[in-house]
Amino acid sequence: MEMPKSFLSSALFDLVSDVDFTEMMPSTPVPAPAEPQSADCDGPYQDLTSIRELDLSAARASDFYASPASASGGKPRRKRVISSVQRQAANVRERKRMFSLNEAFDRLRRKVPTFAYEKRLSRIETLRLAIVYISFMTDILEKH
């Protein structure tokens, strides 16, 4: 996405005046986003394909049982107890979900204006800057 040069002039500074850039602009150049470190398992995202290999057939209905009652209401509520295989599968799904969430954050990062030397925006910074950016663009559209 190409940003109009004029936008990158003073208007940008007006735009983000309520954004604390002192937080967002370190004095040093930024290394590439750090590779996720290996966790005690297989490491981030590394295992996303392995969900296919998970032997989900090992999970059976007998892995579940009914709990006596829920804490609220007294109405008996099923407590789901899952097998380790199902837990593993749920973990993989959660990893995939977070991966797609982060992909969306990356796409959003590329859409909001930043300086080339600027450190990679965190997720919260990305959201806040996107809000400011959208507000700014909306203002422009409404005035013309």
Partner DNA sequence: TAGGCCATCTGGTCCT
Partner DNA sequence: AGGACCAGATGGCCTA
How far apart CA 81 and CA 98 sit, in angstroms, is 23
**Phi, psi torsion values for 21, nearest 5 degrees:** -75, -15
How far apart CA 7 and CA 90 sit, in angstroms, is 45
Give the binding range for DNA (CB under 7 A) out of 10-18, 70-78, 110-118, 129-137.
70-78
Give the binding range for DNA (CB under 7 A) out of 10-18, 92-100, 110-118, 132-140.
92-100
Asked if residue 129 binds DNA (CB under 7 A), the reply is: no
Nearest CA-CA partner of 106 in 88, 80, 126:
126
Asked if residue 97 binds DNA (CB under 7 A), the reply is: yes
Asked if residue 110 binds DNA (CB under 7 A), the reply is: no
Site for DNA in 39-68 (CB under 7 A): 39, 41, 43-46, 56, 59, 61, 63-64
Measured from the CB atom, is 91 or 130 closer to DNA? Answer: 91
* Residue 72 backbone zone (phi > 0: left; psi -120 to 50: alpha; other: beta): beta
Among the listed residues 34, 53, 74, 142, the single contact to DNA using CB under 7 A: 34
Q: In 3-state terms, what secondary structure has residue 38?
A: coil
How far apart CA 45 and CA 15 sit, in angstroms, is 36
What does the binding site for DNA look like in residue numbers (CB under 7 A)?
23, 26-28, 31, 34, 36-37, 39, 41, 43-46, 56, 59, 61, 63-64, 70-71, 77-80, 82, 86-95, 97-99, 102, 122-125
